[in-house]
Amino acid sequence: VDPARLQSSRDTTAAEAQRALDGKTKPPGSLGRLESLAIQLAVIQQTLTPVVDRGRICIFAADHGVTAEGVSAYPPQVTAEMTRVFARGGSAIGVLAREAAVDVEVIDVGVDAPAESLPGVVHAKVRRGSRNFAHEPAMTFEEVERAVEVGREAARRAARAGVQALGLGEMGIGNTTSAATLLSALTGAPAICTVGRGTGIDDAGLECKRAVVARALSYHAVTMGAPGSIDPRRALACVGGLEIAALVGAALEAPGHRMVVIVDGFIATVGVLTAARLAPPSELGRILPALVFAHQSAERGHGLALEAFRTLEHGAAPIHLRPLLDLGLRLGEGTGSALAIPLLRAAAHLLCDMATFEEAGVSGELRR
CB of 319 to its own copies, least distance (A): 16
333 among known catalytic residues: yes
Q: How far is the CB of 72 from its own copies (least distance, A)?
A: 7
Residue (256 or 342) nearer to its own copies, CB: 342
Q: Which of 143, 170, 253, 333 is catalytic?
A: 333
Spatial distance between the Cα atoms of 130 and 270, rounded to a whole number of angstroms: 17
**Closer CB to its own copies, residue 230 or residue 346?**
346
CB of 49 to its own copies, least distance (A): 13
Question: Letter for the amino acid at 344?
Answer: L
The site for its own copies (CB under 8 A) is made up of: 24-34, 70, 72-75, 77-78, 81-82, 84-85, 88, 90-92, 94-96, 98-100, 199-202, 204-205, 298, 324-331, 335, 339, 342-343, 345-346, 349-350, 353-355, 359-363, 366-368
- Distance of closest approach, residue 91 Cβ to its own copies, in angstroms: 6
- CA torsion through residues 228, 234, 236, 238, sign: negative
Instruction: Tell me the angle at which helices 242-253 and 175-187 cross, rounded to the nearest 10 degrees.
Output: 60
The minimum distance between CB 68 and its own copies, in angstroms, equals: 12
Q: Which residue, 257 or 349, has its beta carbon nearer to its own copies?
A: 349
Burial 77-113 (b: 16+ CB within 10 A, else e): ebbbebbbbbbeeebbbbebbeebebebbbbbbbbbb
Q: In terms of CB distance, is 314 or 322 closer to its own copies?
A: 322
- Nearer residue to its own copies within complex by CB, 29 or 281: 29
> Is 170 in contact with 61 (CB distance < 8 Å)?
yes
To its own copies, the closest distance from the beta carbon of 329 in angstroms equals: 5
Write out the catalytic residue numbers. 333
